[in-house]
Structure 1
Amino acid sequence: MAGFLSDLRVVEVSAFIAAPIGGMTLAQMGAEVIRIDPIGGNIDYRRWPLAPTGTSLYWTGLNKSKRSVALALHKPEGRELARALICSPGAPGQGTGILLTNLPASGWMSHAELSKHREDLIMLRLTGNHDGSGAVDYTVNCASGFPTATGPGGDPVNHVLPAWDIAAGLYLATGLLGAERARRRDGKGREVTLALSDVMLASVATLGYVADVQVNDSVRPAMGNDLYGAWGRDFPTKDGRRVMVCAISNRQWAAVGKATGLTAKIAMIGPMLDVDLNDEGGRFEARHAINAVLAPWFARHTLAQIGEAFAGTGVLWGPYQDFGQLVREDARCSTANPMFTTIAQSGVGDILAPAVPLGFDERAPAAPAPRLGEHTEQVLAEVLGLTTSAIGKLHDAGTIAGPKE
């Protein structure tokens, strides 16, 4: 695949979300990403949602643009092939000898063991907690404080989005590029570790919630869909839909009043409550009164009418959508958006697929995920120089596998 990372080869041994997203991000920017799985697939190979054929839409979605190699990793011969691929020297100037994983990296796959075969090996390794103990997105998120601040109050509310996994995947891609750039300068290998819980903790602290407790002894409460520290909330519409509207700047705030025709009525709230509506904090304090003035306007208008009223005004707003409405109604989720193309995915059919969201001139369109083991023979021949005869013997011994037809 064309792309500005075409001189980079990464071997990925992974499952689930974080590491596969890191590898896919690199692959979609042109890197050669070789995903190694056990024969038959790893523990995420059949994860929901599934196509009618049984093909995992989850797995194919997370592994676009990669090459797939299937090895008997429970056998010494399979592990030796994996080690050889990870530590392969590559062509002159090619960034090779890089492993990306979120699986337990012990024994043969530890940085110490692999470095015996290539001193400048780079390993990016995701753990649960910084001490190496286990954690997943669900157990990290529950400790973050966000579920108790989500919803109207009372019982905690988990979000469906695996936010920490996604953020970790992007951290892994960034860290890998940083380590590879450093190796180009000093020739040294590195083991870079990332704890999923540290991704959460860094985010919570960066957003000010840790300091808020320390400095103000304050804990952000749950307040439904109100925007914390500024004005914004959801409103039901005449036709049973719901929209989110917010104003961060004074210009956006003025646009809300102008577009709804309620500027004068809203302006009366400031003197009544003794708050400055030209200040984010003032609007937050007066949110209940503001919402009471605006709610009837939204209740009198349909979603289409609200879209017409807000078009070109500078109002920040968006409709609430389920996944079906997103696909069927939102033009951003279509080939009208240059990020998307329609691809033919094996076992699935023609589907809409995104390229990397970064709008580089070199951005290649989305490419399908491979079939499990699709590139086993090709990679072993190209990377390790194995002959057709040697590859055939490995097949016969059950050490490697190609795709099931």
Structure 2
Amino acid sequence: MALKPLAGITVFENDSFVAGPSSCLGLAQLGAEVIKIDPIKGGPDIDRWPITPEGRSIYWGTLNRSKRSVAIDLRSEAGQELAQALITSPGEDAGIFVENNVGRPFLSDEVLRGKRADLIHVKVQGSADGGPGVDYTVNAEAGIPLITGSAEVDGPANHALPAWDLLCGQAAATAVLTGLLHRRSTGEGLYEEIALKDIALAAVANLGWYTETLQPAGERAKHGNHIFGSFGSDFATSDGRYVMITAITKRQWGNLVKVTGLTEVVAALETALGTDFALETNRYTYRETLEALLKPWFAARTAAQITADLEGSGVLWAPYASLGEVAQETLAAAQDDPAGAGVLRTLESEALGTMLVGASPVRVNGEYLAEDSPTVFGSATEAVLTERLGLGSAEIGRLHDEGIIAS
């Protein structure tokens, strides 16, 4: 039987996009029962790309799997009362709510805490003043796009990964567990707010990047795929592939020089330049010279030849792979052994077909927690209302007839 460290805990969520849903997905993978309350026709991300040819959202289906979906008319007074009753329903390990709402006063902490004083309420915001924000706008404000991308291209370069959303989701999961520990020791609930912009600013500040700008050198310039302050870059192979090579430590640099057969050439270059490439800062200073020196070695070899030469050499490297290549490798590994693909798993969904999903990256006693299931929008509405609120079939039927809950 799969381990479920959070078994017995019930979390309610009313949110959309990445931060909140990813937080609650992580809690579900650790064994919590997550009940997602959505508007009767779905939230703003119900049809968000990527989508299947039939128009079903892969995005929503992946982030919201392993949850129980409840669809309620949240614009009606009766629907709002149902949502409030569910979120504040009794249970020692219930009364936990994750949301990112703007403009839903009936789900405010003041209202909900009036119904359950020990509520653990985690609110995800755009900014700490309550203003809106998404990963793309927050990233722009944090300063990252202006140091991202090719040094030859002016202007910002956005990245595709919603990094701040994902970090915010992990912070929200931590906030839930913090609330649980606090309530178990004091009997009191907590209201915790997490702003996406604060996540970004704090993370960048804690890396020292803002402090760096106060130094005499000032703001950092773009440097493409080079590793800042060390040596590392991408190299093209003879068959049109790319590999990422890093030499952060002295040992890694020495192994790279050895395997490429450039020991004597590098020694002569050090003498000519009066420098020592064993020092990380010097490798960064002369990064373009060293890159030019190494390029011919990689350009003369196929990706397979480079793999053979670098495996076991002590060089820290990786081939660049497309999303499709990762997917195909995962499928191939899963055919022989479902656990053989590591953190990635296949999951069959009637709506989305074969899904490739990630197990919880938290391994418990060496085991990935991968007991996932597809979620069908609104499918748990009747069962949850019966279990949590004790509604009978007549009341459920009335709510259906009045359009308060999904049919």
Q: TM-score, normalised by structure 2?
A: 0.94
Q: Is the 8 A contact 1:275 1:285 kept in 2?
A: no
State the match for 2:352 in structure 1. Answer: 348
Q: Is the 8 A contact 1:167 1:199 kept in 2?
A: yes
State the match for 1:13 in structure 2. Answer: 14
1:281 lines up with 2:281 in the alignment: yes
Which one is further off, 159-168 or 348-357? 348-357
State the match for 1:195 in structure 2. Answer: 195
Matched to 1:394, the amino acid is L
Deviation at 1:255, TM superposition (A): 1.5
State the match for 1:107 in structure 2. Answer: 105
Matched to 2:320, the amino acid is Y
Which one is further off, 278-287 or 27-36? 278-287
Q: String of CA shifts for 1:144-163, please: whole Å, max 9, x gaps.
A: 22111111231111001111
Deviation at 1:105, TM superposition (A): 6.3
State the match for 1:261 in structure 2. Answer: 261
Deviation at 1:333, TM superposition (A): 8.0
| Shift in CA distance, 101/333, structure 1 to aligned 2, threshold 3 Å | farther
Matched to 2:374, the amino acid is A
State the match for 2:290 in structure 1. Answer: 290
Matched to 2:315, the amino acid is V
Q: Is the 8 A contact 1:269 1:290 kept in 2?
A: no
Q: In the aligned structure 2, how far is the partner of 1:366 from the partner of 1:7?
A: 16
Q: Is the 8 A contact 1:327 1:333 kept in 2?
A: no
Deviation at 1:37, TM superposition (A): 0.6
Q: String of CA shifts for 1:52-105, please: whole Å, max 9, x gaps.
A: 222111001101211100101111111111111100112xxx421111011226
Q: Is the 8 A contact 1:135 1:196 kept in 2?
A: yes
Which one is further off, 364-373 or 154-163? 364-373
Q: In the aligned structure 1, how far is the partner of 2:20 from the partner of 2:263?
A: 50
Deviation at 1:21, TM superposition (A): 0.4
State the match for 1:388 in structure 2. Answer: 393
What is the DSSP-based 3-state SS (H/G/I as helix, E as strand, rest coil) of the residue aligned with 1:143?
Answer: helix
Deviation at 1:106, TM superposition (A): 4.4
What is the DSSP-based 3-state SS (H/G/I as helix, E as strand, rest coil) of the residue aligned with 1:358?
Answer: strand
Matched to 1:314, the amino acid is G
State the match for 1:337 in structure 2. Answer: 341
Deviation at 1:261, TM superposition (A): 1.8
Q: In the aligned structure 2, how far is the partner of 1:270 from the partner of 1:286?
A: 10
Deviation at 1:325, TM superposition (A): 2.3
| Shift in CA distance, 332/308, structure 1 to aligned 2, threshold 3 Å | farther
What is the root-mean-square deviation of aligned Cα atoms in Å?
1.8
Q: String of CA shifts for 1:107-129, please: whole Å, max 9, x gaps.
A: 21000110010001111111111
Deviation at 1:376, TM superposition (A): 0.7
Q: In the aligned structure 1, how far is the partner of 2:328 from the partner of 2:307?
A: 17
Which one is further off, 131-140 or 383-392? 383-392
State the match for 1:35 in structure 2. Answer: 36
Q: Is the 8 A contact 1:28 1:356 kept in 2?
A: yes
Q: Is the 8 A contact 1:64 1:366 kept in 2?
A: no
Which one is further off, 168-177 or 328-337? 328-337
What is the DSSP-based 3-state SS (H/G/I as helix, E as strand, rest coil) of the residue aligned with 1:138?
Answer: helix
Residues 164-313 of structure 1 aligned to structure 2 (within 5 Å): 164-216=164-216, 218-313=218-313
Q: TM-score, normalised by structure 1?
A: 0.94
Q: In the aligned structure 2, how far is the partner of 1:11 from the partner of 1:134?
A: 23
1:375 lines up with 2:373 in the alignment: no
Which one is further off, 249-258 or 235-244? 249-258
| Shift in CA distance, 210/319, structure 1 to aligned 2, threshold 3 Å | same
State the match for 2:314 in structure 1. Answer: 314
Q: Is the 8 A contact 2:330 2:345 kept in 1?
A: no
What is the DSSP-based 3-state SS (H/G/I as helix, E as strand, rest coil) of the residue aligned with 1:169?
Answer: helix
Runs of 5+ in structure 1 lacking a partner? none
Deviation at 1:324, TM superposition (A): 1.5
Matched to 2:364, the amino acid is F
Deviation at 1:298, TM superposition (A): 0.4
State the match for 1:325 in structure 2. Answer: 325
| Shift in CA distance, 367/297, structure 1 to aligned 2, threshold 3 Å | same
Q: In the aligned structure 2, how far is the partner of 1:359 from the partner of 1:332?
A: 23
Deviation at 1:364, TM superposition (A): 3.1
Q: Is the 8 A contact 1:149 1:222 kept in 2?
A: yes
Which one is further off, 258-267 or 322-331? 322-331
Sequence identity (%): 41
Matched to 1:110, the amino acid is S
Which one is further off, 339-348 or 292-301? 339-348
Deviation at 1:332, TM superposition (A): 10
Deviation at 1:217, TM superposition (A): 5.5
What is the DSSP-based 3-state SS (H/G/I as helix, E as strand, rest coil) of the residue aligned with 2:364?
Answer: coil
What is the DSSP-based 3-state SS (H/G/I as helix, E as strand, rest coil) of the residue aligned with 1:70?
Answer: strand
Out of 121, 135, 138, the position equivalent to 2:136 is 138
Q: In the aligned structure 1, how far is the partner of 2:229 from the partner of 2:198?
A: 26
Q: Is the 8 A contact 1:11 1:98 kept in 2?
A: yes
Q: In the aligned structure 2, how far is the partner of 1:315 from the partner of 1:132?
A: 47
Q: String of CA shifts for 1:207-241, please: whole Å, max 9, x gaps.
A: 11111123446211101111100000011110111
